[in-house]
Structure 1
């Protein structure tokens, strides 16, 4: 069985995902701004169900239009876009409420883990965006060999 990647991940599906993600993220931010804290989850659930219903019924509506087609994968892209779009404001709200506990530990560990990888990419860059002298490159290679890269 061969998968048609253009059909699964083509521009049409990306536009469905992005449009529903942007719309739901904007609505999610509005809900967070105008709702009190303990009702945000309830409002987000209602918005998720409403936008998912709109995404599914929109595909049925397209079935009756002569120049459009109803596709199951479009409906899945809509559902995924709504889910990701609403998850972004909820995640930002959670991080804002727990920033002292969460961000300091995670960010510190992230920097300690990812900085060597970033520097390694700088060293292994196949298409350099600047050139350095051969003497400096040799010193850098000697240093990296000494470190163990």
Structure 2
């Protein structure tokens, strides 16, 4: 017994018609949800056949589901670009903040040195006897 296969064009047409019937609610098998498995059942083929030999039909099914790999890829690429832009801005901000920290650390060191010098001067003034000297009262 010979099992005669359908030509590729005829099988592709069957798959497209199966997808259209499901989309319009006129499925012969009662399918209502658009999936690769549902289209395969409607067309009487395996899901592997769709994946392996008719990837454009699989993509059309994903587009009908709103899950097109191209759309998902484009959305991810757009999101990646947005995140890279944010990353670039944040890296620039980090660079500027590091420069400010370095500048403030330098200013802090100068102020610490000045503070030490002022404390030393203050200690010298405290050592000087500021008590009034007793005057000789012999002139009275």
After TM superposition, is the score higher than 0.5? no
Which structure is larger by alpha-carbon Rg, 1 or 2? 2
* TM-score with structure 2 setting the length: 0.30
* TM-score with structure 1 setting the length: 0.28
